[in-house]
Amino acid sequence: MRDGYLLLITASLLFASCAREEREPVSLETAVRAATTTPYGESEDCADTPDNVSYRECFTQLAVAVRAEVDTELAKARKLVEAADEEYSHYQPESLTADDKTQLARHLVMSQENWLRYVDGQCELEATAARGGSGTDTLRQKCLLRLARLRLAELRGAEALIDGNR
């Protein structure tokens, strides 16, 4: 199994080195992560842990760390949208309602609230697949990690879009 991963990593690096010069080079970390992805899109971050308890705890720690990154990115996004809303409100201050002056900020809050509800439901669904067995918490933590990584990418994409329109 390890030989297969090494072959995939080597192939990824070889492919990355053949990429056109206009693209940014692929880092070793990116190549390794891509090469160790399961068919379901999850990376096997904790594959080397010795037992089930350590495996679950590894995913718990990763999920907490990435969630902290989401919170940091959300604070950054809030500042950006507040600045963008403020900038927009200067164009026609007399014709804008109070809601118009805070559109981005309100939608960011709404998006985050909806995401939190989605995460709760989705991760509960995935955890329930273990039917209360020993894998229940591990499935929940893997879900929390996967969705936090997605949210981080979503927030960064929204920031780029908003910042690009200013």
Instruction: Note the pLDDT tens digit of each residue in 81-99.
Output: 999 888 877 776 666 666 5
- If asked whether residues 86 and 113 sit together in one domain, one would say yes
Average model confidence (pLDDT) for the chain?
77
Do 141 and 67 share a structural domain?
A: yes
Q: Which domain holds residue 134?
A: 49-164
Q: Do both 145 and 77 map to the same domain?
A: yes
- What are the structure tokens assigned to 114, written together? 């909806």
Radius of gyration of the chain measured on its C-alpha atoms: 21
Tell me how many helices (H) and strands (E) the chain has. 6, 0
pLDDT at 108: 95
Residue % of the chain over a pLDDT of 90: 46
The contacts of residue 123 (CB under 8 Å, 6+ apart) are 140, 143, 144, 147
pLDDT at residue 162, rounded to an integer? 87
What is the rounded CA–CA span in Å between residue 76 and residue 87? 17
* CATH number, position 59: 1.20.1270
8 A C-beta contact, residue 49 and residue 58 = yes
Locus of tokens 């164009």: 91
Query: pTM, whole model, 2 decimals?
Result: 0.67
The answer to whether residue 43 is domain-embedded is no
The verdict on residue 61 lying in a domain is yes
Q: Which residues contact 55 (CB under 8 A, 6 or more apart)?
A: 46, 49, 138
Query: What's the confidence (pLDDT) of residue 13?
Result: 42
Q: What is the pLDDT of residue 69?
A: 97
Q: Are residues 31 and 82 in the same domain?
A: no
**What is the pLDDT, as a whole number, of residue 119?**
98
Residue 42 lies in a domain: no
31 and 78 share one domain: no
- Residue 100 confidence (pLDDT) above 80: no
The tally of domains found in the chain comes to 2
8 A C-beta contact, residue 165 and residue 81: no
Please tell me whether residues 27 and 55 are part of one structural domain: no
